[in-house]
Chain A
């Protein structure tokens, strides 16, 4: 076997691309490297100083109260994507964060000094591609600089890029980033962060929060077999919480990874903040699924369970504050994954009659001579939403089932909801039962536990989830189901589909320049106008290429929904059923599709 040559020349750019805000990423990685290296577990005398040197146009990141790098740590520091770190309790996961430092330098040059416990001084200079820790000295690069004279590490990011420097030197914003990320260690262990960008040393203080009106805490809560939530604290304040501190901070090792928004009315949501900490086991599980940039988690089992727990507890908390709840409107990490279960699923759910006149492979065209039988009205007490979070699941992922019931009658109703999940061999995987009271004219969400799948127990293949709603006498009143695939590619949609795929066209200067999309072709392809100012705007607004790709997919889904609504209007018109009520009904369906596809709850 030959060693594969690696081109690291643009590694820093690729890594930087993972960060929406590079300066926020810089302080996170700097803090994480340094806090990992603290001399005592509580960070006695730990200090991190970030200083800008205007004459040299460089930034130094110097830590105190840390162990410095001995031979082994030095070697690890010089490596990239050291995956063994993901299995340790340290904050760092893959050793890629330091490459962000190179990104800030015009020449990608970073100098590193470290003094270890034995008083051994080490120096390296390097770019993304190469480094030298044998010949060069600090004075070769900065003649006026004295070498590091205390145990710890100092990093010099040389010749900062002008645009990033200007952004970085907004010290207030930079200190805000630190405060919102590291508040836990500042509060608990007096960790000191000093920012000196203009010749004045400023210590980062705890963020100012308004007085609390109501609070709730949950401690030592077991999360499946993954570990325990040490503490989930929720606070409802008398006044609005600063924007960057709203939601529930998910903490790992004293660092805020992300903040989960709370589902509530704007007025309530803006006054809630909280945090969630974990025991060692659950921290380690979360670390395994954490994004390398420390800004989020992959949608894997550990994170799904934690997210679901926090969502339910914060929902309960919101319920106590205000009986009126509203789902969060915002863009989530896995928004696209959810949204791309697509227009077809939405059409199937909201306007199944449309799917029948589309052209999926094997789809049966309707007989134009045969009048369509009128659609029976939905039962007044029914399952309004019943679906899984993904069409394909892997063994380390969880099925999150969304289920909502509706009682459209003027009376309270007692119902029985029975759910089951079976594989294609009819083996039962999961079958919870719920006896519920539904208030008159109300909607009720059911908290269905997450379902995990294990490789040695659950067979791969097709699974079906079914929910049956029965009245007090046990008579079935409504039933819904969904299908998903475990560790197996779902088959392409067959039979009735609305859309087969989405294409893009250049519309500038063409008669259809002002249209967002053309009507569906005979092959079920929807052509979206790539030049439309709305799509151009969407592309320009995205802060990273990843976000831009997400936004394009979302935009396409929205166009699909618009087309579905248009088709529905035409269909009803041809059936002679298009009156004011029907138009309102179609508008309602349109709103519901948008809500589900685009404005998905992040909770």
Chain B
């Protein structure tokens, strides 16, 4: 039997036969009556409800931090603190849907907590994704690069897991490398280790 569609809650526009439209917060899980997968759909619905509850709880905690840090735009310590909270996706076993959770939090619910409104959901997801990876770093490393620098570093999947490489990259950051140059430097360092992607 096919597995029920995995998702979260998201904003959706629905239309009624009279032409009226309404924006709602709808679960991705839907019950298609008669397809014999109703119970799996209900199970998935409850999982999505649990995710939504966790996301809402995380937003409350982030809101407290945000109030403490009015200068939060690209503030590395704000992002680090929020990143710690975002680890709930791992703790609660939602890692495989973190993209959907970031979308819900940063696009649907509170874009103001995640770098402001973005043109589309894909773009909005990147900010919390960076925060989440930043939350995994050692506190002493965090201040060695700016938000933009970390943003570049963390685009490279799992790069921070290689301690020696990360050390070299952070040293480059401390020397003021950023943007395209930093990206190129990371690529060079990786390829010199034979791990060019």
Contacts and interface: CB of A to CB of B under 8 A. Distances in A.
A189 interface: no
Interface string A502-513: 111110001000
Contacts of B25: 505-506
Contact of B34 (A493, A519, A520): A493
Interface string B24-44: 111101111111101100110
B30 A501 contact: yes
A305 interface: no
A506 B33 contact: no
A556 B31 contact: yes
A340 B30 contact: no
Contacts of A506: 9, 24-27, 52
A392 B39 contact: no
Interface stretch (B10-18, B84-92, B158-166): B10-18
B14 A525 contact: yes
Contact of B33 (A342, A522, A539, A549): A342
Given A522-B17, A552-B42, A504 B33 contact: no
B51 to A, nearest CB: 12
A527 B14 contact: yes
Contacts of B34: 340-342, 344-345, 391, 490, 493
Contacts of B17: 520-522
B43 A521 contact: no
Interface in A12-61: none
B121 interface: no
B46 A548 contact: yes
Nearest to A391: B34
A566 to B, nearest CB: 13
B82 interface: no
A8 to B, nearest CB: 18
B49 interface: yes
Contact of B27 (A344, A520, A530): A530
Contacts of B100: none
Interface in A151-201: none
B194 to A, nearest CB: 30
B9 A550 contact: no
B180 interface: no
B39 A553 contact: yes
A336 interface: yes
Contacts of B24: 505-506, 510, 518, 527
Given A504-B26, A505-B24, A553 B15 contact: no
Contacts of B27: 503-506, 530
A499 interface: yes
A545 B43 contact: yes
Nearest to A503: B30
B33 A336 contact: no
Contact of A502 (B14, B30, B49): B30
Interface in B85-140: none
B153 interface: no
Contacts of B33: 340, 342-344, 499, 501-502, 556-557, 560
B38 A336 contact: yes
Nearest to B33: A342
Contacts of A557: 33
B26 A501 contact: no
B45 interface: yes
A506 B34 CA distance: 24
B64 interface: no
A340 B34 CA distance: 5
Interface of A: 336, 340-345, 391-392, 490, 492-493, 499-506, 510, 518-523, 525, 527, 530, 539, 545-546, 548-550, 552-553, 556-557, 560
30 contacts: A340-B34, A340-B38, A341-B34, A342-B33, A342-B34, A344-B33, A345-B34, A392-B36, A501-B31, A502-B32, A503-B30, A504-B29, A505-B27, A510-B24, A520-B16, A521-B15, A522-B17, A525-B14, A525-B30, A527-B14, A527-B24, A530-B49, A539-B46, A545-B43, A549-B39, A549-B42, A549-B46, A552-B45, A556-B31, A556-B33
Interface of B: 9, 14-17, 22, 24-27, 29-36, 38-39, 42-43, 45-46, 49, 52
Given A343-B33, A505-B24, A521-B15, 13 more contacts: A340-B36, A344-B33, A345-B34, A492-B35, A505-B27, A506-B26, A518-B16, A518-B22, A519-B16, A545-B46, A549-B46, A552-B45, A553-B42
